[in-house]
Amino acid sequence: MAYDYGSESLGIRNPFKVEGLFRAIRGLLVSLLGIYPLLQVINLVQADKALAWIYAGVGFILLAGGLRALGGGIFQMFRFFVGRSVPTSLAPNFSKSERETAKLETPHYKSIDLEEMLMGRKNKTFVEPDGFISRFVHTLVTKLIFLPYPLRNLAQRFSGAIIGTFVALIAYALTAFVCLTGLVGTTGDILLPIFSFVLVVYLILTWRAASTVYRHAERTIETQGTLKLAKIMTFAILAPVILGLIINYLLQQPDIADTVARLKQSNLQSFAVLPQLLLVLVFAAISGSLIFILLKQRTALVQAQTKVAEYRANWQENIHPRELFVNIDNIVMANRRYKEIPNRVYRELNPNLNEQSESKGNFSGEVMIETQPEYAPLPHTALFKQLRIAATAVGQILLLIGPMILFYLMFEAKDVMALITDIQNARYSGVDPEPLAVQLFNESQFILSLLFSWLICHSFGRLLQNYSHTFWAELNFNSLLVYLKCEGTYTESKLTTGKGIYDSTASENYVMRSSLTPWIISSRIMTSTFADSGAKNVEHPRHILEMQENPEEMQSIIADIRSFFSDRETIASIKNEQDLANTNQIHQINQQSRAMPVTSDQATLASPQADAEASTALPLEQPKD
């Protein structure tokens, strides 16, 4: 949505400055590593073009990755632009002052959802977990269900990766048992290194997938079932048998059998799976400790209340029904705005008046309004803040180890190129190249182990970077949500005041007598959203986490409405000096006209009051004798 500037700040500061600083430092160091091999290319071009291309490729990869991290870190430290329209509304906003902004929002709820939550004292944000792993995690961490969706999803993803890792280790143990006991024949010695390689690749892919954090994770809860685990166990049991049959068939070929026998006699090093497994388990333990302690600290702040304040009554007032809704919208709720920012209207003001005749009818209407959410950061403990910084720092260190390994492999490339050259020269000179080939194979095993170590470090570093970013990104807000539903009947009557026997100033008014039955529900809600760097920093969906009872605010709202009833005027009166002077002048003229003597022609038209005044004014005639 657009950046709607206002002179009064909402108090939302950039939460990613510390994270951006660590990321920028890592990017700067990687960029420096990439500059060194690029500077060596000029000297290597004349000596060895192949090695020069390797240096150039490694330098370009390191420099590109470093500059990307440096730019991303600096971008996170830039100014955090927050307009007056953030955060996103809970439901479609019908406020007339926010028409253009409302078109750009993607709210999570509908107005009917908010009505159900207020009426039913329930929170539809807390959905039930789906899947074996999901339920298992939510059973171990009982308050996990009350956290926002991104935190619940990362907990499920991490737990799924841990369970998948242990299942893969069990499957590998079953595979090793099948191979070493001879159940697959004489091919066990060949199958086990292959499965060791497959195990490491699977673990790298598993933790790389677990490190991914999707933006759509803030809308739904992911499913973590047992189907993937069943596939792993099935593969562990059937794959050795199938591959064993294939290898037995290949070994029946004479040429292949001689080659395999010769390789067994040579001093070839098998793929070392144990260091990679230890690396995965150590990093999983470190990451798991940081993530789940952070989750425990966050769940300690959960209250998960679903309480509301409710008011139901019957009012008999001289008021048109439409005036009640207009007063609530334009006065009562407008007086409760936060920093004069327009309220969010989720149920538009549209009273329905059903006129049954000229003087009576019934009506119904409803309105749902939320005040501008006020930024209310959670009171995190010092331990939470320290662990969040530690998780960010460890993640950036692991992401730095990968480029350092690649930088080291650049020097190993020189030895590999020398061995390849020696093997070619040995073939041309008629010398047996097998010892050199064995040495090259062992060197490639070492390089492969370093590459796997790089990928493992990168996967766990990316995991900690993305997960800690989620903890940095959470923003919480506090607002007032009010729902009013009013029904009743109205009748029209005529009220006349000020009439006298003679002409006088009178007031005739048509009064609408209404029988109002209001139902008002309000709640002080705590909502959560997750910020990001860039144009859509605080424009992601917002979720309701707590609904607190607010009887004081409810009484204040009722008092304002009742005050409106008591201050209304039913009888028209004179409000200015000119009208008052004119009325006084007319009154004086009437008095003078009534004081004038009555002629014989006017006697028949005189009023009884004038006759009485005349009779009392004349002297009484004396009777004759």
* pLDDT (tens digit per residue) in 384-423: 999 999 999 999 999 999 899 988 888 887 777 777 777 7
What pLDDT does residue 545 have? 93
In this predicted structure, which of 132-146, 188-202, 308-322 has the lowest mean pLDDT?
188-202
Average pLDDT over residues 463-475: 93
Whether 623 shows a pLDDT value over 50: the answer reads no
Checking if the pLDDT of 438 tops 80, the result is: no
Q: Which pLDDT belongs to residue 289?
A: 93
Q: What is the pLDDT of residue 615?
A: 47
**How many residues does the structure list for the chain?**
625
- The pLDDT of residue 251 is 65
- Is 207 in contact with 280 (CB distance < 8 Å)? yes
Measured in degrees and rounded to the nearest 5, phi and psi for residue 227 equal -65, -40
Return d(Cα 416, Cα 521) in angstroms, integer: 76
Express each pLDDT in 520-536 by its tens digit: 999 999 999 998 887 77
- Residue 29 predicted with pLDDT over 60: yes
Beta bridge partners of 312: 519
The whole-number pLDDT of residue 117 equals: 93
Please tell me the least confidently modeled range out of 53-57, 74-78, 615-619.
615-619
As a whole number of angstroms, the distance between CA 19 and CA 76 comes to 8
Residue 81 burial (C-beta neighbours within 10 Å; 0-12, 13-18, 19+): middle
The predicted-structure confidence for 271-289, as pLDDT tens digits, reads as follows 677 888 899 999 999 999 9
Mean pLDDT of 315-331: 81
How high is the mean pLDDT of the chain?
80
- Measured from the Cβ of residue 134, the count of other Cβ atoms closer than 10 Å reads 23
Q: Which residues have C-beta within 8 Å of that of residue 190, sequence separation ≥ 6?
A: 247, 260
Picking from 349, 311, 564, 367, the residue whose alpha carbon sits closest to that of residue 482 is 367
Q: Please tell me the distance from the alpha carbon of residue 12 to that of residue 4, in angstroms, as a whole number.
A: 14
The least confident of 210-214, 299-303, 372-376 is: 210-214
145-159, 372-386, 569-583: lowest mean pLDDT where? 569-583
Q: What is the pLDDT of residue 2?
A: 61
**pLDDT, average across residues 437-449:** 78
Q: Collapsing DSSP states into helix, strand and coil, what is residue 433?
A: coil
Grade residue 182 by pLDDT with cuts at 50, 70 and 90: low
Mean pLDDT, residues 119-138: 88
pLDDT at residue 235 in the model: 67
* For the chain, domain boundaries: 127-271, 309-377+476-567
Would the pLDDT of 616 be above 50?
no
Which residues are CB-neighbours of 38 under 8 A, at least 6 positions away? 55, 56, 59, 60, 63
Instruction: With cut-offs at 50, 70 and 90, classify the pLDDT of residue 622.
Output: very low
pLDDT recorded at residue 416 = 79
Beta-carbon contacts of 70 under 8 Å, excluding residues fewer than 6 positions away, are 23, 24, 27, 28, 31
Lowest mean pLDDT among 71-75, 128-132, 174-178, 183-187: 183-187
User: Cβ distance 380 to 297 under 8 Å?
Assistant: yes
Cα distance between residue 102 and residue 95, in whole Å: 8
Residue entry with tokens 């008002």: 520
Does residue 567 register a pLDDT over 90?
A: no
168, 234 contact by CB (below 8 A): no
Q: Which residues, in sequence order, are bridge partners of residue 311?
A: 520
Q: Are 325 and 450 in contact (CB under 8 A)?
A: no
Are the CB atoms for 315 and 518 separated by under 8 Å?
yes
